[in-house]
Structure 1
C-alpha cells in the first residue's frame, strides 16, 4: 500500500480513504475505512475517464461481472455505485502480501503451503468460471 496522492479524494461516499492499494489503466484501488472501522477495498474509475461514456459502460460491465462471482476464496462485492460522478465498487479487503511479494521474501511455496495455495487458487478460478468469466490478468502480483 502507498499513501494517497495529490488529487486523490479523502472520502468517497461514507468511506474515508486510507491509502492506495494499486492502480490500473481504468481505475485506482484504495484501502478505505467505514465509520464502523471496517476496512474495504474501493475501486474507482479514474477521474479523467469518468466523463467518457465508453469507459463508464466498460466499468459498469466489470462491476456487474464482479457481483456474479461467488466463492470462498474471492473477495465479495459489498457495494456498486455506477451512477456516481466517478463510479466505484466496494469489495471485501483481503489483507496480506501478494504471491509475488511472499515468494520474493520467503522463496517458493513448498509442501502444505503450496498445496493449500493451489487449492484456494483453483477454488477462486472455479468461482470466476461459474460466473462465465475468464480472469485475463492472473499473475503472482494479482493473487493474495
Structure 2
C-alpha cells in the first residue's frame, strides 16, 4: 500500500485539515476500473493519513520523459483505461480537475488514475476554495481558464 501522511505543520492548520478530510471523502466515492482504491484513512488523527493500494509502475510523465510517446497497443490501452477511470469518476458525481501525466500510473495491467486532492463533487463537496482556479497549468481546460469552473468535459480535455 501507499500511505500519504500529512506534515505536522499542515496538521495544525484547520483549513488544510478540512481540505484533507474532503479529499478522503471524495476518494471514498470513486471506485471502479483503472482507479487506485482508497483502503483506509483517518483524517481526524493527530497526524492525518490515508492509504491506497500500491500501484507499481512509472507515471505517464515519467514514462514519456524516458521513452517518448506511446504508440499502438500501449496508446490504445492508455486511452481506454483512462476513459474507463473517468467514466467511473463522473458516474460517482466527481470531477477530478487535475488529470495530467503525473496522476496516471502505467501499471503492468493498465493505467491507474490517482490523486483526488483537488477533486470536486458535483453535489457541492469541494476540496478547494470557491473562485480559485484549480489544476495544473497546461492541463486546465479552456473553460477552466475562462470561468474557473470545470466539469467532466474538462477532465476529458486534460
Partner of 2:50: 89
Q: Which has the higher contact order (CA 8 A, sep 6+)?
A: 2
The Cα of 1:74 is off from its aligned counterpart by 0.5
> 1:65·1:131 contact (CA, 8 Å) conserved in 2?
no
Partner of 1:45: 6
Distance 2:19 2:66 in 1: 36
> 1:42·1:90 contact (CA, 8 Å) conserved in 2?
yes
Partner of 1:62: 23
If each structure's strand is expressed as a fraction of its own residues, which one has the higher value? 1
Distance 1:104 1:55 in 2: 32
**SS in structure 2 at match of 1:75:** coil
Partner of 1:31: none
Partner of 1:21: none
Partner of 1:135: 96
| Larger deviation, residues 114-123 vs 41-50 | 41-50
4+ residue runs over 2 A deviation: none
What residue ranges of structure 2 are gaps of 5+ in the alignment?
A: 106-158
Distance 1:136 1:49 in 2: 22
Show CA shifts across 1:42-75 (max 9, x none).
Answer: 1122211111222111111110000111112001
The Cα of 1:132 is off from its aligned counterpart by 1.4
Show CA shifts across 1:60-102 (max 9, x none).
Answer: 1110000111112001111011121011110001110011111
What residue ranges of structure 1 are gaps of 5+ in the alignment?
A: 1-39
Partner of 2:73: 112
TM-align CA RMSD: 1.1
**TM-score normalised by the chain length of structure 2:** 0.63
